[in-house]
Amino acid sequence: MKRISILGATGSIGQSTIDLVARAPESYAVEALTGGRNVARLAEDARRLGARIAVTAHDDLLGDLRAALEGSGVEAAAGTTALIEAAARPADWVMSAIVGAAGLAPGLAAVETGTTLALANKETLVTAGPLLMARAQASGATVLPVDSEHSAIFQSLRGEDMATVERIILTASGGAFRDRPLEELHEVTVAEASTHPNWAMGQRITIDSASMFNKALEVIETREFFGVEPERIEVVIHPESIVHALVGHRDGGVMAHMGAPDMRHAIGYALNWPGRATLPVERLDLVRLGQLTFREADPARYKALALARRVMAEGGLAGAVFNAAKERALDHFIAGRIGFLRMADLVERAMDEDAAGADGAGAEITLETVTHADQVTRQAVDRMIGARAE
Ligand code: NAD
Ligand code: MG
């Protein structure tokens, strides 16, 4: 029986994790589930799975959560501190699936217990990769990748020697606008950007896929997780989303990982690692697929990718600045205050201005310095567009 917790249980990754757990109730004891505003969903899942505690990130929703859990025996809690405490409760396996930099502190708290952390929250590695890895090493925690590309790399590397790895190739679907001319991207709507051709995901990562910010985050995530030099990481557009990533060795051999675009594969792999369980994902029919295609990720079109290179070159807190600026620009795009292409411009400007004083690889990466850089950068982005913080 594995004791598990799911941070961000009400989101897309959280719900896919629950789907797998609910199929084998005899194998899992659920410790904590956390969520945001959707307390009805959170309470229903906590009841169904017999969780010990359910936590909403919002203090004002504690009453609603308590009411929804009445008579269930599930403890209720709310707020940021409660979230971190829930993450630190003893568990064998913790899913980190909160979206954005908000996932950092709970993820770190989980890692400090020495648990196995299934890491979907890529922002943790982008903003504080060295910190996470150092804490994991100190506590003896295992960190497993859940992002599909990183799970694919991880699986392709099994039994291999990192010293023979020449290159890592991340595939990108190209998102909603892969076939739209660049000139038209000034005018695209939030609704259009929020539809993904292949994957069903939360709204924020779906828009990040269309802008290529998701792949930019993933390039940095690759660097932090696998410790490879930036120049060894490549990105290629692969519209079918069947090959999730490839690892090339010095003898010219390339290991590709393929599968249907369903996050339950990567989640299930992390849940059952080092073994493999039967998973309810579609099996590939190569003949029906017929062909798999690849094309260049045009640097003129995808400014986000160049910004990721800059983050890796700068090091230090550049990742925290980059991510915070991206998150805030995305807030403004979703709120209809700025156009789609303006997001990358704002991120670039935030990096130029460096209001957080993050410049230089020497900057110490702690939860405090990252949080400070994050807050200051969000304010800087608000100032740039003359918006008031919500
Ligand atoms: P989502 O928006 O569907 O769900 C996010 C979850 O986080 C929800 O439970 C929400 O309540 C919670 N949350 C949001 N803001 C919070 C806050 N401030 N404090 C605490 N909790 C908060 O997101 P998602 O698509 O499931 O993505 C989750 C993470 O996994 C992201 O980091 C994303 O980049 C990564 N990821 C997602 C996918 C995918 O297929 N959805 C694939 C790879 C990686
Ligand atoms: Mg991914």
Cβ atoms 284, 227 nearer than 8 A: no
Is 55 a pocket residue for ligand 1 (Cβ < 6 Å)?
A: no
Residues in the chain: 390
Determine if ligand 1 sits within 6 Å of the CB of residue 41: no
End residue of a domain, out of 313, 333, 359: 313
pLDDT of residue 363: 83
Q: From ligand 2's centre to the CA of 147, what distance in Å?
A: 5
Separation of CA 117 and ligand 1 centre (Å):
15
User: Do the Cβ atoms of 377 and 350 come closer than 8 Å?
Assistant: yes
Residue 281 near residue 261, CB atoms below 8 Å? no
Is 176:263 a contact under the CB 8 Å cutoff?
no
CATH (domain of 385): 1.10.1740.10
Structural domains of the chain, count: 3
Residues 253 and 126 reside in one and the same domain: no
pLDDT at 362: 72
166 CA to centre of ligand 1 in angstroms: 32
Beginning with the edge strand found earlier in the chain, give each strand of the sheet holding 233-237 in spatial order.
Answer: 254-258, 243-249, 165-172, 233-237, 295-296
For residue 251, report the distance from its CA to the centre of ligand 1, in Å: 39
Question: Do 99 and 236 fall into the same domain?
Answer: no
Q: Which of 145, 162, 188 is the last residue of a domain?
A: 145
Q: 108 with 231, same domain?
A: no
> Does ligand 1 have an atom closer than 6 angstroms to the CB of 201?
yes
8 lines ligand 1 (CB under 6 A): yes
For a ligand 1 pocket test, name from 12, 214, 323 the mutation site with the most ligand atoms within 8 angstroms of its C-beta: 12
Smallest CA separation from ligand 1 atom 18, residue: 102
Q: Do the beta carbons of residue 326 and residue 290 sit within 8 Å?
A: no
Does residue 197 share a domain with residue 344? no
Q: Position of tokens 């405490």?
A: 85
Q: Are 159 and 122 in the same domain? A: no
Q: Are residues 170 and 296 in the same domain?
A: yes
Range of the domain at 116: 2-145
What pLDDT, on the 0 to 100 scale, is given for residue 389?
A: 57
User: CA–CA separation, 11 vs 34, rounded Å?
Assistant: 10
Statement to judge: residues 23 and 112 lie in one domain: yes
Structural element, H or E, at residue 214: helix 213-226
CB 61 less than 6 A from any atom of ligand 1? no
Clarify whether residues 309 and 324 are in a common domain: no
- Between CA 88 and CA 18 the distance in angstroms is 20
197, 252: one domain: yes
**Tokens matching residue 310:** 């800059």
Tens of pLDDT along the chain (390 residues) come to 999 999 999 999 999 999 999 999 999 999 999 999 999 999 999 999 999 999 999 999 999 999 999 999 999 999 999 999 999 999 999 999 999 999 999 999 999 999 999 999 999 999 999 999 999 999 999 999 999 999 999 999 999 999 999 999 999 999 999 999 999 999 999 999 999 999 899 999 999 999 999 999 999 999 999 999 999 999 999 999 999 999 999 999 999 999 999 999 999 999 999 999 999 999 999 999 999 999 999 998 999 999 999 999 999 999 999 999 999 999 999 999 999 999 999 999 999 999 888 766 678 999 999 999 999 999 999 999 997 655
- pTM to 2 decimal places: 0.98
Sheet-wide strand order for 53-56: 75-78, 53-56, 28-35, 2-7, 93-96, 116-119, 142-145
Same domain? For 129 and 171 the reply is no
Which CATH number does the domain housing residue 134 bear? Answer: 3.40.50.720
Residues 163 and 300 in one domain: yes
Quick one: 67 and 116 in the same domain? yes
Q: Separation of 149 CA from ligand 2 center, angstroms?
A: 5
Q: What pLDDT was estimated at residue 322?
A: 98
Among candidate residues 264, 293, 313, the one where a domain is terminated: 313
